[in-house]
Every structure is written in structure tokens, then in C-alpha cells.
């Protein structure tokens, strides 16, 4: 979690959830090509691999709280049964990724995020439990104010076709080190391979295999920096069945070879 001032952030994507609150300033954010205003009281819940960028208006700066966390926080545990997994598995593609808080709710929300940030910066006993509790409260505000702002014709559950992709994404996150293919996923989730491939392209702007490779290369990077394992072994530990494929994909995504990446990052340390 961080509290920072921004003038602009170039287009990028994450493999985790990003939850943010605008405290001061005004600007614009673009998520998967759709632009919306940023102003004090704007809450944004950005799902994994959604491409976004933002910038402040001229002569202004955005002050924001930004909180990042793994998607399994919403997709597993008792909270998922209470409806938090609907933020992922049931989100209507037409539903905005942001909520504009009413003025009367802004003070309470800022105090909640202040408490969340204060707990994150602390080292007190039971810190993870308190952090989780405060984060769930913040998410509940997003859900409640987002539901209240929905137009009547947008209420209700989304069409089945819009619900298919997030269970698949969750499964890939949990099994990306295993052998996976589009055909296997289509059979498991009863979705035609062509439709599933199209959904990955529409939602993330990349093919399924590229989505899978990015997860595996991220895992490989952590092993390169945190272990002394031979690079060939890291390739197989990261889900690749071929060392040449691993090397080629790593170079394409990182711009350097695995060995160069390890040497440079260790040198920076």
C-alpha cells in the first residue's frame, strides 16, 4: 500500500488487484480504452491484467491511496461465499470499474483508508488480521455505493457469457505451474476454445498463451532473485516444458536473458 502524488502514469497492467482512492486533485483515467474522471472520492477497483493509465489535469496533481492485493483474497475463504467473489466472477463487462462517493460519505471513507494505511505502516500484533478487516470494510463501501449508483436496467446478474472468464482466470492463477492448454480449459469450464480465446483477447488484450507466459515468467523472476537454482531448473520449475521456449519468452518479455536478469538485479542489490 502507498500514498503518493502523481501527475501521470503510463499504460501498464498488473497480475494482482489494485484498489485506489483519490484524496486530492483532478484527472483522467483510461481502463481498457474507456476513460473516466478522477476527483476526490473516486474509488477504483482494477482487476488483474486490465490495462490502465492516468494523468492529472494541467497544473494539478493527484494524491491517491493505492492498495494492491492478490485476487485469491476475494475468491477464497468465507468472504467469497458472502458475495465478494462476485466482484470478480460476476462482474458485468459494462459495469464501471470506479465509484464516485457522495460527499457525505467521503469523510468516513478517508478515515477508513487512513486507518488502513496506518496499520500497513505499523508493526503491531495481529497486523494481518486488522489489515484484512479494514480492507474488507473498504471493499464493502465500493460494493454498496456502486450498487446504489447502478441504473435500474443494469441491475441483476450479468449474462452467462460475461461470467465465464473470471473462474478461468482464477483457475489459471492457481495452476499456472501445471501443464495448461486452451483446449483443457475449454473442456473444464464448458466454453468453446474459440469463445474462450476471444474473451481473453477482449478482456486483457492478449492471447491466452501470452497471459500464461507472463505469469510463469514472473514466477521465474522471483526464483532467479531468491534462489541459486540453475537457470535450466528454474525454467521447468516455472511451468515451461522446454528450456529454449523459456529463454525465448523471457527475452521477449524482459528484454534480457535470464542470466543477465539475475546478474543485473543482484548487482543492483
Interval 42-76: pLDDT, tens:
999 998 878 899 999 988 999 999 999 987 777 66
Give the separation between CA 158 and CA 36, rounded to whole angstroms: 22
Say how many CA atoms lie within 13 Å of 20 toward its Cβ.
27
Cβ proximity of 76 and 129 under 8 Å: no
**The overall pTM is greater than 0.95:** no
Cβ proximity of 41 and 101 under 8 Å: yes
| Predicted local distance difference test score (pLDDT) of residue 166 | 75
| Predicted local distance difference test score (pLDDT) of residue 159 | 41
Average per-residue pLDDT in the chain? 86
Give the separation between CA 251 and CA 174, rounded to whole angstroms: 25
In this predicted structure, the answer to whether residue 155 has a pLDDT above a threshold of 80 is: no
Cα separations (Å) of 219 from 118, 210, 211, 223, 246? 30, 14, 13, 6, 12
- Please name every residue paired with 4 in a beta bridge, in sequence order, or none if there are none: 64
Least confident of 29-33, 70-74, 80-84, 129-133: 80-84
User: Which of 33, 31, 27, 21 shows the shortest CA–CA distance to 8?
Assistant: 27
pLDDT band at 162 (very low <50, low <70, confident <90, very high): very low
What φ, ψ does residue 252 adopt, rounded to 5°?
-65, -40
Cβ proximity of 255 and 193 under 8 Å: no
Interval 117-131: pLDDT, tens:
999 999 999 999 999
| Predicted local distance difference test score (pLDDT) of residue 157 | 43
In the chain, the domains with their CATH numbers are 2-154 (2.60.120.280), 164-269 (1.10.10.60)
Cβ partners under 8 Å of residue 139, min gap 6: 19, 45, 74, 84, 87
Amino acid at each position: 500500500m502507498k500514498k503518493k502524488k502523481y501527475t501521470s502514469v503510463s499504460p501498464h497492467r498488473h497480475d494482482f488487484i489494485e484498489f485506489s482512492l483519490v484524496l486530492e486533485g483532478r484527472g483522467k483515467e483510461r481502463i481498457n480504452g474507456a476513460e473516466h474522471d478522477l476527483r476526490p472520492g473516486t474509488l477504483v477497483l482494477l482487476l488483474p491484467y486490465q490495462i490502465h493509465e492516468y494523468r492529472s489535469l494541467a497544473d494539478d496533481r493527484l494524491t491517491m491511496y493505492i492498495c494492491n492485493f492478490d485476487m485469491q483474497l476475494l475468491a477464497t475463504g468465507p468472504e467469497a461465499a458472502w458475495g465478494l467473489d462476485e466482484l470478480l466472477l460476476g462482474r458485468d463487462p459494462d459495469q464501471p470499474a470506479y465509484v464516485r462517493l457522495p460527499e457525505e460519505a467521503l469523510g468516513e471513507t478517508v478515515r477508513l483508508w487512513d486507518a488502513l494505511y496506518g496499520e500497513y505502516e505499523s508493526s503491531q500484533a495481529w497486523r494481518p488480521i486488522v489489515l484484512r478487516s479494514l480492507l474488507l470494510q473498504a471493499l464493502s463501501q465500493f460494493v454498496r455505493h456502486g450498487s446504489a449508483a447502478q441504473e435500474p436496467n443494469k441491475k441483476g446478474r450479468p449474462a452467462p457469457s460475461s461470467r465465464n472468464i473470471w473462474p478461468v482466470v482464477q483457475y489459471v492463477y492457481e495452476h499456472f505451474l501445471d501443464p495448461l492448454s486452451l483446449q483443457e480449459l475449454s473442456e473444464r469450464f464448458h466454453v468453446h476454445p474459440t469463445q474462450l480465446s476471444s474473451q481473453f483477447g477482449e478482456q486483457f488484450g492478449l492471447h491466452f498463451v501470452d497471459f500464461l507466459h507472463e505469469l510463469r515468467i514472473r514466477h521465474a523472476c522471483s526464483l532467479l532473485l531468491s534462489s541459486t537454482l540453475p537457470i535450466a531448473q528454474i525454467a521447468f520449475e516455472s511451468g515451461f516444458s522446454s528450456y529454449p521456449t523459456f529463454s525465448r519468452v523471457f527475452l521477449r518479455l524482459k528484454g534480457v536473458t535470464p542470466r543477465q536478469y539475475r546478474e543485473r538485479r543482484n548487482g543492483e542489490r
